[in-house]
Structure 1
């Protein structure tokens, strides 16, 4: 007997590096995109309250109505009016992408994945017997898509680069999608984590074909809650929603109550966390620049993504072995010579220690 090769071939650079780092004493972990700041107390209290009142049974499979209403209100602030029927609550952002692609792709059809992109995008089409093409925006706009291409998947603020695409770029992508009758999936999980100009959503340029993916995971440091959503045209959302019944039935009721508290409660906690992330970003960029690595200053998200101008896999493995630092190679993100650091998972002192070790590692490497 054999396992489906589309499943057995799925890999994760992030999880591989995290697994190798697990259990190593004094290992500095910059691999997982997990904020080390605590989940705000009012969110924890709302979750506890839901459990205490016995909110532990099956909720509505599309999500509890108050949360869907809150999500619609949240996403409407981006410029396009949404209602409850535009929203599905999902098991995190990745599940939202899976559901969207399930509804958009038939076996053999293709999704354009704008690079660099989160590595987990790579495996989702495989489970659907579909195909993916990792492509830059410039290369995509310069060519006519094959007939098999049905979807564009774009992420801004971007994991891993921290880039926020400007309005002109987003408008060009939207016009391309209209011209070739393509769906757009816009991953906006980091939409509240920005340091200068607020991100703009591509939904404003193509609301009739755009599906927003979002989650409470990063903004509110709730990665373990696994609550996200898919927001889009109601004529499609209703059909896609039924796929939830075939994957997980529904999302945890008490976790949804926590997400509701996150979206409707005081947002000062977000500003405080983003201010801390900015300090970490600034320090990490200072240390990266001192090394002479090429790296665009992240405009948002939680990562720095320098170009080390060498194969990232051997470098990452050697850095772990000799300097006890765990980072992620850039190849699965679409860039073979880049590496990704997560500054949200390390304190300021840990960032300094990390780059002190890297400086020593690089000097010894030259000997």
Structure 2
């Protein structure tokens, strides 16, 4: 009699669950006539110059393996773009590797910088895939709750967290403007943090994917302030509405990029050349695309903040990205967390939002709204949400 084959798989992977953001999105996916204000999917089409470059690439048979680290022209265009926009001083393609979005960039950097058991300091609330990546690599998380400090980490909070850790803290994963809160930092705040990171001799993975979408404040890159300890990750998904193209960049010293490239080779090898053709056009022919979108996003932000404040939400002052992270109205909060609220809003009110607990245990009474959605969806979503809240209040 043959025995059933049983062979255990990786225990870390087996213990993983779908993150709260993706899981909730799947949970509400079957609801009819739902207005989705959940994911950070820009409500814009890409510029025609980008489309034309991709079409030309197809016609010119750019269907073979590309350069593993990324097309040389694209890498130089990335260097030129970020040098110009953020006053940086990179030299050339040796300072960039092109990755499959920021998601791969995060994994490649963790694999490069961390040994098993090394710690990563993460200001929370934070983008959920960060947590999974650290677990898979075998790192340790040192979460720092920022919900009581306007969703910003301070030098004192960094000092206290590192002093309390019983494992070596080697990296801080520093995302600004922030997903999910939209919070960002002044240059004065960043300089103080840079001095603190320098004092503790920790690597800074500076996730600046939303850097070109800031409002009322100028973005200052940590790479400018602490270049010797910083590796920047960014890409074109948000700045140019190219989410499906999966163009990410890891930018840093030639020495660290050479090491990251070793890991990248094993994860992705190379992105399709035709999508890189489009990325070259984005950085050379569609350089003004982020500025155009930024004006629209700022108008949408102001619209959503006004509407949600009138409904009784506690809304901060998001100065970047395209998210509103709001505490649910006090008269709804007794015995109800953001997950319950978000589920009821979806099933009864017809509006999909992200529950705050997906980003941090300390923000269970929050929800996240993405105002990357188009104007019609935002208007409909706010109208439906207000009607649902009014109906719930009237029925009490």
TM range (shorter): over 0.9
Residue 305 of structure 1: SS of its match in structure 2?
strand
Q: Describe the shift of the 1:215–1:10 C-alpha distance in structure 2 as closer, same or farther (beyond 3 A).
A: farther
| Contact 1:111–1:132 (8 Å) recurs in 2 | yes
Greater shift in the superposed pair: 18-27 or 208-217: 18-27
Cα deviation for residue 143 of structure 1 reads: 4.3
Q: Deviations over 1:284-330 (max 9, x none)?
A: 11101101211112211111111126421111111111112111111
The aligned runs of 1:1-367 (5 Å cut-off) are 1-8=7-14, 9-77=16-84, 78-82=86-90, 83-135=92-144, 136=146, 137-138=153-154, 139-145=157-163, 146=165, 147-308=167-328, 310=333, 311-334=337-360, 335-347=363-375, 349-366=376-393, 367=396
Residue 314 of structure 2: SS of its match in structure 1?
coil
**Please, what TM-score do these two structures have when normalized by structure 1?**
0.95
Cα deviation for residue 26 of structure 1 reads: 1.5
Q: Deviations over 1:306-362 (max 9, x none)?
A: 112642111111111111211111123222221100011232x32232122222322
Q: Deviations over 1:79-104 (max 9, x none)?
A: 33112111111000111111111111
| Contact 1:72–1:87 (8 Å) recurs in 2 | yes
| Contact 2:37–2:381 (8 Å) recurs in 1 | no
Cα deviation for residue 177 of structure 1 reads: 1.6
| Contact 1:27–1:326 (8 Å) recurs in 2 | yes
Structure 1: runs of 5 or more not aligned: none
Q: Deviations over 1:219-243 (max 9, x none)?
A: 1111000010100121111011110
Greater shift in the superposed pair: 185-194 or 131-140: 131-140
| Contact 2:50–2:286 (8 Å) recurs in 1 | no
Greater shift in the superposed pair: 232-241 or 13-22: 13-22
Greater shift in the superposed pair: 23-32 or 88-97: 23-32
Residue 87 of structure 2: SS of its match in structure 1?
coil
Cα deviation for residue 165 of structure 1 reads: 1.0
Structure 2: runs of 5 or more not aligned: 1-6, 147-152
Q: Distance in 2 between matches of 1:143 and 1:133?
A: 7
Bigger Rg, structure 1 or 2: 2
**Please, what TM-score do these two structures have when normalized by structure 2?**
0.88
| Contact 2:182–2:319 (8 Å) recurs in 1 | yes
Cα deviation for residue 20 of structure 1 reads: 2.5
